[in-house]
Chain A
Amino acid sequence: MAGMIGSPVKRKEDPRLITGNGYFTDDIKLPGMLYGTFLRSPHAHAVIKRIDASKARAFPGVAAVFTAAELADKMKAVPAMWFLPGCELKPKDRPALAADKVRYVGETIAFVVAKDRYVAKDALDLIEVDYEVLSAAVQQEQAMQEGAPQLFDDVPGNLALLWKAGEIPDEVFEQAEVVIKERFYNQRVVPNPMETRAAVAQYNPGGGEMTIWCTSQNPHIHRMIYADVLGIPESKLRIIAPDVGGGFGSKIATYSEEAVVACAARELKCPVKWVEERKEHFQATTHGRDEVIEVELAGKTDGTLTALRVKNTANLGAYLSTFGAGCPTIDFGLMVTGAYKIPQAAVVTYGVYTNTTPTDAYRGAGKPEATYQIERAIDLFADKIGMDPVEVRRINFVPKEAFPYGNAMGVTYDSGDYHLTLDKALEMLDYQALREEQEELRAQGRLVGIGFSTYVELCGFGPSAVAGAIGFQGGVWENSTVRVHPSGKVTVFTGTSPHGQGTATSFSQVVAEKLGIPIEDIELVHSDTQSVSMGWGTYGSRATAVGGAAVSIAADRVVEKAKKIAAHELETTVEEIDFTAGIFRVKGDPDRQRTFQEIAKSANFAWNLPPGVEPSLEGQSFFDPANFVYPFGTHICVVEVDAQTGEVFLMRYIAVDDVGRVINPLLAEGQVHGGIAQGVGQALWEGAVYDENGQLLSGTFMDYTMPKARFFPMIESAFTETLSPVNPLGAKGVGETGTTAAPPAVVNAVMDALKPFGVKNLDMPLTPQKVWRAIQNGREKQ
């Protein structure tokens, strides 16, 4: 079907989800299935002196209680998979269950398996554990200080990694006309997909096959890691991610709980289910961000930026999580110069173990932090030299003609036109008029602010050789098979693993356009390691740019083979065949034709194939991209601050994003909205707060402010399309634009609003109390 790419098609996923026919992990019910629940540490740092589970084991309805002792020779600890070279990385695996020491509140100690979840919870209360409580290292800078509590004997100073890229001598900053020095704390946030983690495991003691249904963004990565952890060959381990209720990075990681559930199913010879409660999710599923970022930005009074030096002290939590080493280093460090041609840049990252929940990728993973520091620093720079922040951005933008552009950190931006999105956003805003209005309102005592974020981010990881060079223990290519059945209906297999993105729709659009068949004739299969030969999953905005590209190429290969068969049947050559809108025609003789469906039947029946052509009609692609892709855009936020309460109200939010080719504008806009809500959430409300003992104070939805509908105005969204040369679709990535762009746009707007009080910087989240205090301090100084 021509025109499918770029069309706002309604989602194929929805009919099942809106009628209650979704199939999430907790919906699975197997014969004889037992229910498990974990005993978790109430202390951030403690020695386990004794565990006595005898009363729990004797409780009616309990099948088993597992502690570290029972699992010692049954499974291994769960390792990370990003071993960054050249940074003295000291990886610490997640123990199956804590044996002699616990290192964060929520760490698993025992697993109770019972006939139902109520009985399991009853029994949990009967387990006795004696702890010797140790003082905790919570904040990363404090954890590095001498005398701080040590998590591991062989990790002095709790320093898990020290990564350096580039070097700039002090003289550059000493001699610069203008220097901005600032410390930004990119606070810890909790991913909180609405479906928590869950797993169901079923083991066949006869054949040794294990199936784990779990909430995964990347089932093949889960298979690879858990095969090793459980000692089951990959060929006998099947991972299925059924419907998955959001991930935002938190379901990339491989955790110990899912593996313990599988181990229990193997030991008990019956299926076991575990579903994380929300309180557990807060404590036990990876958190995002938590980076102290110190910036030195040098430039000239004419607005030109000349050098950037950044130090990131990142809190990795108690163990090294799956992608944990990569987020504050590669993902962050390579993008610190943002959309600007800053000739010199250097980054140093300290990765620190603390007595907190491990951190890992969270929607954007490193790029939001990189964007935050440069976009905030640019505003401070503009303020210092008395220039409009828009003007400073314009002066320093990488110009359109400079692409492909190698930035100071050594990565090559594929394509871009940064003025394009800025111009469009300013037009939507009516900038000059708004500045005038702002002055008038200020005169009336109303605090209105305008904030900008002209971001660029790195996503769609590739090629795999680069992944290898940076220590990622896997590939980053993607796989697709397009299988044409005898009827002409099509099944598309993808190694990506959607969990809300609408990939079944967007990939079907690509195939419908390529094969000239109705979208209803296409079904997408994903998220099952037994159906899909291999793949690397959905994260890092890679699904369309890498997975969609593989689908596109596989569909092209179907057409290529189908053309040979059509030419044979029509007694002509392949060169003489024209294929449009699902019909193969002989050029110059359009009445001689075959439909796609006719060729599908011919290929599968194989009664009369041309010499050298094998039966069936399938195209397959293993696409390894030549580069990353670099979406960009301009977000503008307009806020009003209530001077009496410190509350921040969003008046307008404009997002002009350039994500390359847009496959489905409806879905793309949905991604933008959701990302912005999360980004604004970080800017204004969200934050995982620990006390000095390592207790998570904001550990439920009562204490952790999730964005609600009434917090937002209608977001004004638009796209420009600057195609990527990296993949045949010209697509970039859209999933992480909002969380990347929004935090600095919002904070820049609030700082602009607070300008009359001389407020230069406040750390996120900009809660009413924090803003109110800043206003009071400003008033006192005046």
Chain B
Amino acid sequence: MAKKVEVSVTVNGKAYSAEVEPRMLLVHFLRETLNLTGTHIGCDTSQCGACTVMVNGEAVKSCTMLAVQAAGCQVTTVEGLGEVGNLHPIQQSFWEKHGLQCGFCTPGVMIASIGLLQQNPNPSEEEIRDALEGVICRCTGYQFIVEAVKHAAQLMAVDETETGNALQIGEGR
């Protein structure tokens, strides 16, 4: 067993420090060390994307990154998107458009969708489908996910006109 190392990371706007094994995956660090169990593990080969989180503003599969690699980073998980009564537009849209069934892949799919909308605030259906390449959903057949992402783009466009900052996540939402 390798010597533990200290990792300091900001998750959902809150600073954490912990001693971890160098081999510990970021997803296990989030789920088991920080008890942020909203991020899920759906495979062991980086295909399913259920574990997708934001690291320094980019959508990343947290099963493919070590906790130590996240040292000094800003991480946003589903818990940091928004809460009941103050949902992030992507959460609101997944609810309204029935973008989830079992809900297991949903946190990762929502974060991956935010990743898309940050780069392309008004994606076409084809662009949304292409951008979902890194996630697998077994329940929905993706159609209502596509509609949810489209809807979120509209909500965010409105948000942006009102606040000038639609994509700020993890802090204040």
Contact = CB atoms under 8 A, between A and B. Distances in A.
Given A192-B138, A670-B144, A709-B128, A21 B43 contact: no
Given A20-B77, A20-B107, A195 B102 contact: yes
Contact of A709 (B32, B36, B145): B145
B158 interface: no
Greatest chain B CB density within 10 A among A17, A60, A116, A279 is at A17
Given A10-B96, A20-B79, A708 B107 contact: no
Greatest chain B CB density within 10 A among A60, A195, A675, A706 is at A195
A602 B82 CA distance: 41
B6 to A, nearest CB: 18
B43 A701 contact: yes
Contacts of A196: 42
B42 to A, nearest CB: 5
A19 B102 contact: no
Given A10-B95, A674-B140, A18 B87 contact: yes
Contacts of A706: 47, 136, 138
A578 B46 CA distance: 60
Given A18-B95, A701-B48, A710-B132, A195 B43 contact: no
Contact of A118 (B23, B132, B139, B146): B23
A297 interface: no
A666 interface: yes
B153 interface: no
A245 B40 contact: yes
Interface string B6-21: 0000000000000001
A139 interface: no
Interface string B91-112: 1001110101111111100100
A278 interface: yes
A22 B83 CA distance: 13
A26 B130 CA distance: 30
Contacts of A27: 31, 37
A712 B141 CA distance: 8
A194 B103 CA distance: 9
Interface stretch (A457-465, A498-506, A517-525, A564-572): A498-506
Given A20-B78, A22-B38, A710-B130, A194 B95 contact: no
B93 to A, nearest CB: 10
Interface in A273-287: 275, 277-279
Contacts of A192: 138
B84 interface: yes
A226 interface: no
Nearest to B36: A20
A24 interface: yes
Contacts of A195: 40, 42, 102, 104
A246 B104 contact: yes
Contacts of A277: 44
B65 interface: no
B102 A194 contact: yes
Nearest to A701: B47
A292 to B, nearest CB: 26
Nearest to B82: A19
A673 B143 contact: yes
B141 A674 contact: yes
Interface residues of B, number: 62
A15 B92 CA distance: 9
Contact of B132 (A17, A673, A701, A709): A709
A674 B136 contact: no
A246 B102 contact: yes
Given A17-B100, A22-B38, A709-B146, A673 B81 contact: no
A18 B94 contact: yes
A66 B25 CA distance: 27
Interface residues on A, range: 35 or more
B45 interface: yes
A666 B42 contact: no
Contact of A17 (B50, B81, B103): B103
B41 interface: yes
Interface string A706-725: 11111010110000000000
A20 B101 contact: no
A710 B133 contact: yes
B161 interface: no
Greatest chain A CB density within 10 A among B48, B135, B141, B145 is at B141
B133 A14 contact: no
B1 interface: yes
A78 interface: no
A244 interface: yes
Nearest to A119: B1
Given A10-B96, A194-B48, A714-B143, A243 B129 contact: no
B129 A674 contact: no
Nearest to B146: A709
A499 B142 contact: no
A195 B139 CA distance: 11
A248 B130 CA distance: 26
A670 B97 CA distance: 10
A445 to B, nearest CB: 25
Given A18-B106, A666-B98, A709 B77 contact: no
B18 to A, nearest CB: 14
A19 B133 contact: no
Contacts of A119: 1
Given A10-B95, A20-B78, A707-B142, 11 more contacts: A14-B95, A15-B95, A17-B100, A24-B37, A194-B102, A194-B139, A669-B98, A674-B101, A674-B139, A707-B141, A709-B146
11 contacts: A10-B95, A17-B103, A26-B31, A193-B138, A194-B136, A245-B103, A246-B104, A666-B98, A676-B141, A712-B142, A714-B143
3 smallest beta-carbon distances between A and B, as pairs: A20-B38, A245-B104, A500-B102
